[in-house]
Amino acid sequence: MAAYITHPALSSLCKINCNINAIYSLISFSRRISISSVLSTSAVTTESEAAGQGVRGQRRSKRQAGEPRTERMTVDQDWTAVYPTAASFKPSTVPLPVRMGYPVKRGVPPAKKGNLELIKIPNFLHLTPVAIKKHCEALKQFCTEWPSALDSDEKCMKHFPIQVQSKEFVSAGLSLKNPDARIVTLKVKLSSLNLDDHARKKMIKLGEERYCKDTDTLTITTDSCPLRQQNYDYAMYLLTVLYHESWKTEAWEQEKTRADMEEYEWEDSPSQKNVLDTLLRMRPLGAKDEVEELLGQPAVQEYRDTMLRLKNEGETEENLHKYKEAVKKLFNI
Amino acid sequence: MNLHKLSSRLCPTVSKFRHLHIQSSGQQLEAVAVETESTEPNPLSVFRTSEQNPTYHSERHTGQYYTLPPAHIQKLFPHGLPPRFQLQIKTFNEGCVMVRPPVLELISYLKKADYSKPPLRYILYGDIGTGKSMSLSHALHYCYTQGWLIVHIPDAHLWVKNCKELLPSSSRPSRFDQPIQASQWLKNFKITNEGFLSKIKTTQQYVWTKRESTEKGQPLGVLVDQGVNRMKSSSDVVGAVLRELRLQAGGTTEGEGAFKLAVAVDGVNALWGKTSLKKEDRTMVCWCKPEELTLIHNLRKMMKNNWSGGAILTALSQTGSLFKPQSAYLPSELLGEEGFDNMEPFVPVSVSNYNEKEFESCYLYYLERNWLQHPHSRSEEGKKELIFLSNKNPSILERLCAFL
């Protein structure tokens, strides 16, 4: 195997979709191990030293610290050798003049030497682009080739509109398994499905909060079954059922009221009635006039457009301004 | 009334303690002052205009203050002006209103509108404290000078909250009356429209109780008196008065009785909002809905455009409204769905904060009135501070200057 794997227990072979939490838990796990090992050794040494000193109890002179390793680092060194795995921040090993912390009394943030803040936070010094390239090179022997025909995102979406995501976890603890590994997320864009107007509206209503209007994506997350395979099958089943149900029209769907409508429609709305009433009062219907003709006037159409914009897009100063213009035209002010 | 103004013009740097002396000796100065007024061109009144009639206000008057004649204030606005402005009138001894673009726009629409058609509804909307109520009062002053009949409800929110007496209606079982509010409004209506009360006649008979009724053909004044004297039926009287006005506004048949009707409601979003009045309903206490109140019900009928010969001027108001967030100021937010459907099609008129010129005017006006006592407020720095603190919002500026 490659040289970067020094501690088999600490290595993390993750799939691309592995999240930071998993890595973080590994780092904290490793840190716990390293700190606990340090503590145990120091406890042992102090005990032996105290036994050696005996009654005197004087502090032995501290050994001087040598020059930090950063002084001897060249610019073109191999960084993957310095930080091969996830490790805490070591100020003598990182040649960057980093400062972190609160500037007390209008001063500057404290330097990196002995800075607990820098040690506490997670760092990605082991995941530089060079290191990741090395990881990829090592993993390539286990991968199959990417199909050459799918060279752009659009083609991928066109041929594979359904995206299924799941997470893999590797842990070295009392149990190798992680219960979160069974969660499956299925994402599909409704534009790629064959839906007509009624089916689309019904699907969105059935999906409730699983549908995102901005990206037009339906996201189904399943975690009710214990195995990933079962959850995947369940998610596919849900998608199939939603699709077929939204194509059917039930008898009670005729009772859909204005409050249930997703978008504002001007036809048959109180707004249309008001405008019609007002116009009729201004000029009573002659023998030749017809309601449709009255409504077909350009001023009325413009009013209709502004109303639709006001109601569907929400009210803004700009929309209100356009509405004012339309009303003025309608009444010839 | 003008003594104070004249004396302050003559000695612009007088300290506040000498004001009292000057007012008493003003009579001696009056003779002198009359001559000086015509000769010296007053530098301080660049923000004032002498055009008292709103009919002639135009773009060149924007940012300038015009004085409301005190006789008009008493007649037209017995209850109508915003409370802080009323305090200002008492302090400065004069009521000065700034001419601003939204009102000029509104007045131009009123001038151009055709009064044989159904009335147009104008809604003044804007952020808190930008001057919607003041603009409404200005427009109403225009209508008054043109001789219209004014129906002015200064704040519709006062009718949906804090009513001490709520009686079940005598005429309809499911409604509630507010006798105090109704009779007070009728009193103010009488003061404003003194002239019309004898000219308009009722078109049908109204029966109030077994012994009281108003016959057909009686002048409107009798109806109004009935409501003022008999508190119990005052809410129904209001309804009757509004109905009569609706039927007869813009009447072309009677040459003498033809009048134009201006319905002005401030805080119109109260009509379709919620109330904070409780009703006892078979041992259960629940909130009244606005339509269960007689006054609100009748006012809603006025808001419809099924009559002709007038205009409906309204202003939205968040400050008095119930259960509405402070950030709401656009029409559909404050009116709600029902209100919007009832009020449209309407012409929205936006009222915003002062611009540079208007702020300058206001600042000079307060300086001239010696309202800004703090010495720092007269400097450029002070002015910049005022701009920053108030963001040129009229009401905040007014409250700030009150401290200085």
Give the pLDDT of residue B154. Answer: 85
Give the pLDDT of residue B222. Answer: 84
Residue with tokens 């159904």: B118
Where are any strands of DSSP class E within B25-168? 65-68, 95-98, 120-126, 149-153, 167-168
Shortest CA gap A329–chain B (Å): 11
Q: CB–CB of A278 and B305 under 8 A?
A: yes
Q: Which residue of chain B comes nearest to A326, CA vs CA?
A: B347
Instruction: Write out chain B residues lying below 8 Å of A323, CB-based.
Output: 348
Instruction: Write out chain B residues lying below 8 Å of A310, CB-based.
Output: 332
Cα–Cα dist B384/B365, whole Å: 16
Q: What's the predicted TM-score (pTM) here?
A: 0.68
Q: In terms of DSSP bridges, do strands A217-222 and B284-287 run parallel, antiparallel, or are they unpaired?
A: unpaired
Give the pLDDT of residue A279. Answer: 80
Q: CB–CB of A320 and B306 under 8 A?
A: no
Segment B44-79, tens digit of pLDDT:
467 788 777 888 888 888 888 888 888 888 888 888
| Confidence check: pLDDT of B125 > 60 | yes
How is chain B split into domains, by residue range?
116-350, 357-402
Tokens read off for A156: 């991928």
| Confidence check: pLDDT of B251 > 70 | no
Phi–psi pair at A185, nearest 5 degrees:
-115, 130
Cα–Cα dist B286/B279, whole Å: 6
Give the angle A270-A274-A277 at the CA atoms, nearest 5°. Answer: 135
Q: A265, A320, A329, A332: which to substitute to probe chain B, counting the most B Cβ within 10 Å?
A: A320
Q: Amino acid identity, residue A252?
A: W
- CA end-to-end distance (rounded Å), chain B: 25
Cβ within 8 Å of residue B369, ≥6 positions away = B8, B92
Give the pLDDT of residue A229. Answer: 94
Give the pLDDT of residue A128. Answer: 94
| Confidence check: pLDDT of A126 > 90 | yes
Tell me whether residue B110 is exposed, middle or buried, using C-beta atoms within 10 angstroms of its C-beta: 0 to 12, 13 to 18, 19 or more: buried
Give the pLDDT of residue A129. Answer: 95
Give the pLDDT of residue B24. Answer: 40
Top pLDDT among B76 and A211 is at A211
The predicted model gives A231-241 an average pLDDT of 95
Q: Which residue of chain A comes nearest to B116, CA vs CA?
A: A282
Instruction: Write out chain A residues lying below 8 Å of B308, CB-based.
Output: 281
Instruction: Write out chain B residues lying below 8 Å of A268, CB-based.
Output: none
Q: CB–CB of B117 and A310 under 8 A?
A: no
Q: In this complex, which of B331, B344, B348 lies closest to A274 when CB atoms are compared?
A: B344
- By mean pLDDT, which of A107-121, A148-162, B30-44 is the weakest? B30-44
Q: CB–CB of A331 and B120 under 8 A?
A: yes
Question: Would you place residue B250 in the very low, low, confident or very high pLDDT band (cuts 50, 70, 90)?
Answer: low
Segment B166-201, tens digit of pLDDT:
888 777 778 888 888 888 888 888 888 888 888 888
- By mean pLDDT, which of A210-214, B14-18, B111-115, B142-146 is the weakest? B14-18
- SS3 labels along A206-274: HHHHHEECCCCEEEEEECCCCCHHHHHHHHHHHHHHHHHHHHCCCHHHHHCCHHHCCCCCCCCCHHHHH
Q: CB–CB of A333 and B350 under 8 A?
A: no
Q: In this complex, which of B118, B333, B348 lies closest to A323 when CB atoms are compared?
A: B348
Cβ within 8 Å of residue B395, ≥6 positions away = B84, B128, B129, B130, B131
Give the pLDDT of residue A12. Answer: 46
Segment B287-346, tens digit of pLDDT:
778 888 888 888 888 888 888 888 889 988 888 888 888 888 888 888 888 888 888 788
Top pLDDT among A269 and A156 is at A156
Q: B117, B121, B316, B353: which to substitute to probe chain A, counting the most A Cβ within 10 Å?
A: B117
Q: CB–CB of B330 and A320 under 8 A?
A: yes
Interface ipTM > 0.85: no
Question: Would you place residue B209 in the very low, low, confident or very high pLDDT band (cuts 50, 70, 90)?
Answer: confident
Give the pLDDT of residue B320. Answer: 80
| Confidence check: pLDDT of B360 > 90 | no
Q: CB–CB of A270 and B341 under 8 A?
A: yes
Which CATH number is B116-350 given?
3.40.50
- By mean pLDDT, which of A81-95, A121-135, B3-17, B219-233 is the weakest? B3-17
Q: In this complex, which of B331, B332, B345 lies closest to A275 when CB atoms are compared?
A: B345
Q: Which residue of chain A comes nearest to B114, CA vs CA?
A: A333
Question: Would you place residue A220 in the very low, low, confident or very high pLDDT band (cuts 50, 70, 90)?
Answer: very high
- By mean pLDDT, which of A45-49, A220-224, B269-273, B346-350 is the weakest? A45-49
| Confidence check: pLDDT of A44 > 60 | no
Instruction: Write out chain A residues lying below 8 Å of B306, CB-based.
Output: 277, 281
Q: Which residue of chain A comes nearest to B328, CA vs CA?
A: A315
Chain A with chain B: Cβ pairs closer than 8 A: 52
Top pLDDT among B16 and B124 is at B124
- By mean pLDDT, which of A90-94, A170-174, B130-134, B261-265 is the weakest? A170-174
Cα–Cα dist A83/A268, whole Å: 70
Query: In the predicted model, what is the mean pLDDT of chain A?
Result: 81
Question: Would you place residue A140 in the very low, low, confident or very high pLDDT band (cuts 50, 70, 90)?
Answer: very high
The predicted model gives A151-163 an average pLDDT of 90
Number of H-type helices and E-type strands within chain B = 16, 13
pLDDT above 90 coverage of chain A, percent: 36
Give the pLDDT of residue A329. Answer: 85
* Per-state percent for chain B, helix, strand, coil, to nearest 5: 50, 15, 35
Shortest CA gap B396–chain A (Å): 23
CA dihedral B389, B139, B330, B153 (to 10 degrees): 110
Give the pLDDT of residue B158. Answer: 86
Residue with tokens 């002659």: A286
| Confidence check: pLDDT of A218 > 60 | yes
Q: Which residue of chain B comes nearest to A270, CA vs CA?
A: B341
Give the pLDDT of residue B193. Answer: 85
Top pLDDT among A133 and B92 is at A133
The predicted model gives A323-330 an average pLDDT of 86
The predicted model gives A217-222 an average pLDDT of 93
Cα–Cα dist A310/A264, whole Å: 9
Q: In this complex, which of B114, B341, B348 lies closest to A320 when CB atoms are compared?
A: B348
The predicted model gives A32-59 an average pLDDT of 50
Query: In the predicted model, what is the mean pLDDT of chain B?
Result: 79
Cβ within 8 Å of residue B77, ≥6 positions away = B137, B152
| Confidence check: pLDDT of A230 > 90 | yes
**Chain A residues touching chain B at CB-CB below 8 Å:** 270-271, 274-275, 277-278, 281-282, 303, 310, 315-317, 320-321, 323-324, 327-328, 330-333
